């Protein structure tokens, strides 16, 4: 019988008499070991993908959790970090997008760590806390010495309807204009150095407060409200700068904050309100001499972060209304004026 082309004769054992071809899945022991080794170290799989993203998430967690341990000895790095600390939360959606794109379970689980820490630090600010009531409205505004429209700024402040208005960075040349524009709404006022206080109610005990600057940038007055006397402090702490050669230059501000804190601690009146541009946030440890004894109206009764500077794109809450012995009911920022700061206001309930 003729053998078909290409066929082979089988042996009794079922093997062909030609050389057997290698099986498709055949590998030598060495190649199998190499393949397994490479597969083990290759970032494949939902648990092995996204390791770098997970590392960034853990690093962000450490920065948020231990921000108070970042030293100030080198360029006041700690204070600089704390000034813009809430903005680190922007890294969360970025890391989340990367984790989802990479389909990495490891990265998603690691991302829970910074999310929980950030919410613990700032979640209370995000939630609305304002309430109705209150019997005293206060307002503070750094009007900017180079304000191109001081008259318009004064009109905007009068329209806000506050009972007490504090102004900072008042140049001597513009003080008469503000006094004239605010006189009808606020019959009582005093200017000390470059800060001033306007009130619907009588004031007494007006004096400058020494914050170790060599000139006056803080004052104190007792305002006789219908619900009792209130000690009102107005302060404009020294500016800070970020320099490549010196870092976050805040030494003078820190010394001034200590002096202001000592003055407030010595106050005899029970109800105390601090209005002003502190050039620092409530997270900044350098302001602890003040913030440790007073409450922020934004933190206690605000809706959101209430950033006030710079006015064109607010990134930090450095204009503050702090209280002691007073119950904040609401806190908010006002629309932009001719200044580079936003005005901030609060409604307070006096005891």
Would you state the pLDDT for residue 299?
93
Inter-residue contact 265 to 293 (CB < 8 Å) = yes
Would you state the pLDDT for residue 73?
75
Q: Which parts of the chain sit beneath pLDDT 70?
A: 1-27, 29-30, 33-48, 75, 241-250
CATH of segment(s) 136-349: 3.60.10.10
Inter-residue contact 244 to 226 (CB < 8 Å) = no
Would you state the pLDDT for residue 279?
94
- In the chain, CATH 3.60.10.10 covers 136-349
Would you state the pLDDT for residue 215?
92
Q: CA-to-CA distance for 313 and 336, rounded, in angstroms?
A: 10
With H, G, I as helix, E, B as strand and everything else as coil, classify residue 116. Answer: helix
Instruction: Render pLDDT for 195-213 as a digit per residue (tens, 0 to 9).
Output: 999 999 999 999 999 999 9
Instruction: Render pLDDT for 289-328 as a digit per residue (tens, 0 to 9).
Output: 999 999 999 999 999 999 999 999 999 999 999 999 999 9
Residues in a beta bridge with 320? 276
Kindly report the average pLDDT of the chain as a whole number.
88
The tokens of 287 are what? 């302001």
Would you state the pLDDT for residue 242?
61
Would you state the pLDDT for residue 6?
41
Cα end-to-end span (Å), the chain: 118
Q: How is residue 14 annotated by DSSP?
A: S
* DSSP β-ladder status, 164-168 and 136-142: parallel
């Amino acid at each position: 019988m003729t053998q078909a082309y290409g066929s082979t004769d089988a042996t009794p054992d079922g093997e062909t008499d030609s050389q057997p071809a290698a099986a498709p899945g055949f590998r030598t022991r060495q190649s199998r070991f190499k393949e397994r080794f490479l597969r083990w170290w290759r970032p494949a799989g939902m648990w092995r993908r996204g390791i770098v993203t997970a590392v960034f998430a853990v690093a962000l967690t450490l920065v948020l959790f231990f921000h108070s341990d970042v030293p100030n000895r080198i360029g006041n790095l700690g204070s600089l970090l704390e000034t813009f600390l809430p903005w680190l939360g922007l890294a969360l959606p970025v890391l989340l997008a990367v984790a989802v794109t990479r389909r990495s379970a490891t990265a998603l689980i690691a991302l829970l760590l910074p999310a929980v820490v950030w919410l613990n630090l700032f979640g209370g600010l995000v939630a609305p806390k304002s309430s109705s009531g209150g019997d005293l409205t206060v307002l503070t505004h750094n009007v900017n010495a180079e304000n191109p429209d001081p008259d318009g700024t004064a009109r905007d402040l009068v329209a806000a309807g506050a009972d007490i208005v504090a102004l900072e960075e008042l140049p001597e040349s513009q003080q008469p204009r503000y006094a004239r524009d605010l006189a009808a709404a606020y019959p009582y006022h005093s200017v000390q150095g470059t800060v001033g206080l306007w009130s619907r109610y009588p004031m007494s005990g007006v004096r400058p407060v020494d914050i170790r600057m060599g000139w006056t940038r803080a004052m104190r007055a007792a305002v006789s409200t219908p619900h009792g006397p209130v000690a009102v402090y107005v302060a404009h702490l020294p500016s800070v700068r970020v320099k490549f050669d010196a870092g976050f230059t805040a030494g003078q501000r820190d010394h001034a904050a200590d002096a202001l804190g000592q003055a407030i601690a010595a106050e005899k009146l029970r109800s105390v309100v601090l209005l002003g541009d502190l050039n620092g946030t409530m997270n900044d440890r350098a302001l602890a001499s003040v913030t440790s004894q007073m409450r922020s109206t934004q933190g206690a009764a605000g809706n959101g972060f209430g950033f006030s500077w710079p006015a064109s794109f607010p990134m930090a809450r450095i204009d503050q209304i702090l209280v002691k012995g007073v119950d904040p009911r609401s806190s908010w920022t006002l629309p932009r004026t001719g200044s580079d700061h936003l005005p901030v206001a609060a409604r307070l309930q006096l005891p």
